[in-house]
Chains A and B, each alone.
Chain A
Amino acid sequence: MNYWPLIGIAVVIVGFALKRNPVLVVIAAGVASGLAAGMGIGDLLALLGNAFVNNRSLLLFVLTLPVIGLLERCGLREQAKAWIVGFRNLSLARLLIAYLAGRQVLAMLGLYELGGHAQTVRPLLAPMSEAAAAKDVALDADSRMRVRALAASTDNIGRFFGEDVFLAFGGVLLIQGFYERNGIHLEPFAIAMWSIPTAISAFIIHAVRIVVAQRGLRATTPHSGKPAQRTAP
C-alpha cells in the first residue's frame, strides 16, 4: 500500500489553515497526490483535465445569475422583505420551518434543483428571513449575519435530508450500483425508504434549533418596537 498520496490531504489542511486561496490550495493538493502516487506528468495533466470537464454540471448555477442580478437591481430583495412584513404572524421560526418542510418534500420528489443558494436563498429566503426577524428584534450587523447563515443552513439541511428518499436520486443509484457490482441485488425502493427515519429526525432537530435561534436573537438583541409603528400606513 502506497501511503504517500495522503500528502494531498495534508496540503489541503495546511493550506486552508493558513488561509491561502482555496482554489490554489486544492489544485496544489491534486498535483501533490498525483506526483506522490508516481504518476507521469502527461497522465496527471490528462487526469486533471478530464476530471475538471466531467464535473462541469457543478457550474450550471451561473446561468441563473443574469436573471437574479437584474431582478435584484430592480429591487427584488427589498420587495421580498416588504412582502414578508405584510404577514403579521409570520415569525422567523415559522418562515424557516415552513421552508425546511417544503424543501425536504420537494427534494423527496426529486426536485432538489428547485431551491439553492443562488436561485432562492440570496434573492428571496435571506431577505425574507431578515424581514421576519426584524419584526420583533432590531437587527444589528451581527444578528443580521446570523439570520442569513441560518437561512443558508436551512436550505442545505432541507435538501440533503430529502433527496435521498427520491428513488432515482444519484445517491440511491450509487448505493445500488455498489452492491450490484459486489453481487448483492437490491431495489432502489428498498434503499430509499430507509432514508425516511433520518429525514424526519433532521426536520425535528433543525426545527428545534431554528426556534432556539429565534429565542437567542430575542434574548441578545433589543426589541425593535415595530408594532408601535404599525399604526402608520
Chain B
Amino acid sequence: MTLRVEYAYWLIGAWLAVCAFYNLRERRWTTAALWAIVACAFLFGDLIKQATAAKTSWPAQAMGIGVIVLGVLAGLRDKPLASVLHEAWDATARLGNKLFLPALAIPIVTLILVLLAPYLVFNGVPLLDKANATLVALAIACIIALIAALLTTRAAPTQAFAEGRRLLDTLGCVALLPMVLATLGGVFAATGVGDAVAAIVGALIPVDNRIACLVAFALGMVLFTMIMGNAFAAFPVMMAGIGLPLLVHKHGAAPAVLGSLGMLTGYCGTLLTPMAANFNIVPAVLLELRDQYAVIRAQWPTALALLVVNVILMAVLIFR
C-alpha cells in the first residue's frame, strides 16, 4: 500500500472539521462556517479533481461558490476568541529539555522518512507517494510528534486539539491567505494577466540594447512576483515575454544561467510583497508582531542588495 498525499489531505480535512466543531459549540458561527468550507476542499478535493477530469464541472463550481463565500465570511467579524478560551490547565511539572524532543521530531522524522523513501518499497510498491514524498513524510512526522508530545506531557489528546485550535484561530483567515493567493495566481494565469503585463513591458523597452532587456527582465520578474506573490507564476510569463524571444534568441544569452538567476531574482520580489503571505504575513501574525509588514521591513534591504548582485551576475555570466 502506498501512503498517498491525499491521506494527508483527508487528515487535514478531519482536523479542520474538529476546529469547525469547537467554534460551532462556542457559537462562533462565522469561523465555524469558514473552517467547514475549507475542510470540504480537503475531504472532497480528490473527488472534485476526478470529476473535473471526467468533464463534470458542478463539483468544482460548488467549490468555487464556497471560495466566494469564504471571501465574504473573512470580511465579517466574529465573537472574540479570548471570550471563549478557558485558561483551564497548566503544565504541572517542569519538563525541562525533554520538551524539545517532540518539537524536533517534526523536522527530524521528516528528514529520515524523505531520505529512506527510495528504500521503503515493499513488493515493488513504494510506501511513500513518490511525487509528494516530503509532504507525506511531514504528515507522518506530525502524527509521531503528536504522540511523543502527549507521552512527554501526559496531556489528553483533547488538550492537544484545543491548543492547536487556539493557534489556528489566532491566525484566523490569515492561515487561508497562501491558498487563496495561489488560487488568484491560477485565475490570473487563465485570464491572460501575465500576457498583458509582458506585452506592456515589451512595448516599453529598447529591444536592441541587451542590458536594457536584461534590466527589464529582472525588474519584470521582481514586479510580477510582487503582484502574484510567487516567482513560479512570474517566471513563465517573463520568460515568454522577454527572456526567450529577446535575451536568448536575439542576444544569445545562456539559457541555464538566465533561468536560474532569473528565478532567484524573482525570489527577491517574494521577500518584498505582502502577496507572499505564507512567508511574510503569516509569520507576522504567528509571532504576534504589531506591524503586519514587520517581516518585510526586516528583509527589504537584503532583497534589494541581492537584486543588484543578481543583475550584475547575470550581466557578467549570461553573455559569453
Q: Are B103 and A45 in contact (CB under 8 A)?
A: no
Residue of A nearest to B153 (CB): A74
B-side contacts of A2, CB under 8 Å: 192, 196
Q: Are A51 and B183 also in contact (CB < 8 A) when A156-B271, A205-B305 are?
A: yes
Within 8 A of A (CB), among B296-320: 297-299, 301-302, 305-306, 309-310, 313, 317
Among A1, A50, A117, A153, point to the contact of B52 (Cβ < 8 A): A50
Within 8 A of B (CB), among A80-102: 80, 83
Q: Are A123 and B192 in contact (CB under 8 A)?
A: no
B-side contacts of A171, CB under 8 Å: 231-232, 263
Residue of B nearest to A37 (CB): B191
Is B97 in contact with chain A by the CB < 8 A criterion? yes
Q: Are A119 and B15 also in contact (CB < 8 A) when A44-B64, A70-B160 are?
A: no
Q: Are B62 and A49 in contact (CB under 8 A)?
A: yes
- 7 A-B pairs with least C-beta separation: A69-B163, A49-B63, A45-B64, A51-B186, A66-B164, A27-B71, A23-B74
Is A133 in contact with chain B by the CB < 8 A criterion? no
Q: Are B103 and A124 in contact (CB under 8 A)?
A: yes
Query: How far, in angstroms, from A195 to B266 measured CA to CA in the complex?
Result: 13
Q: Are B149 and A46 in contact (CB under 8 A)?
A: no
Is B215 in contact with chain A by the CB < 8 A criterion? no
CB distance from B224 to the nearest CB of A (A): 10
Is A227 in contact with chain B by the CB < 8 A criterion? no
Is B187 in contact with chain A by the CB < 8 A criterion? yes
Q: Are A73 and B12 in contact (CB under 8 A)?
A: no
Query: How far, in angstroms, from A150 to B95 measured CA to CA in the complex?
Result: 29
Interface residues of B toward A: which range?
35 or more
Q: Are A20 and B60 in contact (CB under 8 A)?
A: no
Query: How far, in angstroms, from A152 to B296 measured CA to CA in the complex?
Result: 10
CB distance from B201 to the nearest CB of A (A): 12
Among B5, B150, B185, point to the contact of A70 (Cβ < 8 A): B150
Query: How far, in angstroms, from A16 to B278 measured CA to CA in the complex?
Result: 16
For the residues of B in contact with A, the DSSP-based class is helix
Query: How far, in angstroms, from A206 to B299 measured CA to CA in the complex?
Result: 9
Q: Are B261 and A198 in contact (CB under 8 A)?
A: yes
Interface residues of A toward B: which range?
35 or more
Q: Are A122 and B286 also in contact (CB < 8 A) when A53-B49, A178-B235 are?
A: yes
Q: Are A70 and B94 also in contact (CB < 8 A) when A37-B191, A47-B187, A63-B12 are?
A: no
Is B33 in contact with chain A by the CB < 8 A criterion? no
Which of B155, B182, B188 has the most chain A CB atoms closer than 10 A to its own CB? B188
Q: Are A56 and B295 in contact (CB under 8 A)?
A: no
B51-90 interface code vs A (CB 8 A; 1 in, 0 out): 0100001011111111110111011000000000000011
Binding site for B on A (CB under 8 A): 1-3, 5-6, 8-9, 12, 16, 20-24, 26-31, 33-34, 36-37, 39, 42, 44-60, 62-76, 79-80, 83, 110-111, 113-115, 117-124, 126, 145-146, 148-153, 155-157, 160-161, 164, 170-172, 174-176, 178-179, 182, 184, 186, 190-195, 197-198, 201-202, 205-206, 209
Query: How far, in angstroms, from A23 to B227 measured CA to CA in the complex?
Result: 15
CB distance from A181 to the nearest CB of B (A): 9
Which of the candidate stretches B21-29, B120-128, B166-174, B204-212 sits at the interface with the other chain?
B166-174
Residue of A nearest to B5 (CB): A57
11 more A-B residue pairs beyond the given contacts A53-B63, A110-B134, A175-B259, with a C-beta to C-beta distance below 8 A: A1-B199, A8-B184, A12-B184, A42-B61, A46-B57, A51-B182, A56-B9, A70-B149, A79-B97, A120-B107, A122-B287
Residue of B nearest to A163 (CB): B267
Is B145 in contact with chain A by the CB < 8 A criterion? yes
Q: Are A197 and B313 also in contact (CB < 8 A) when A70-B160, A115-B107, A124-B103 are?
A: yes
B-side contacts of A80, CB under 8 Å: 100
Residue of B nearest to A152 (CB): B283
Among A28, A126, A184, point to the contact of B255 (Cβ < 8 A): A184
A-side contacts of B59, CB under 8 Å: 49
Query: How far, in angstroms, from A54 to B185 measured CA to CA in the complex?
Result: 11
CB distance from B127 to the nearest CB of A (A): 18
Query: How far, in angstroms, from A45 to B62 measured CA to CA in the complex?
Result: 7
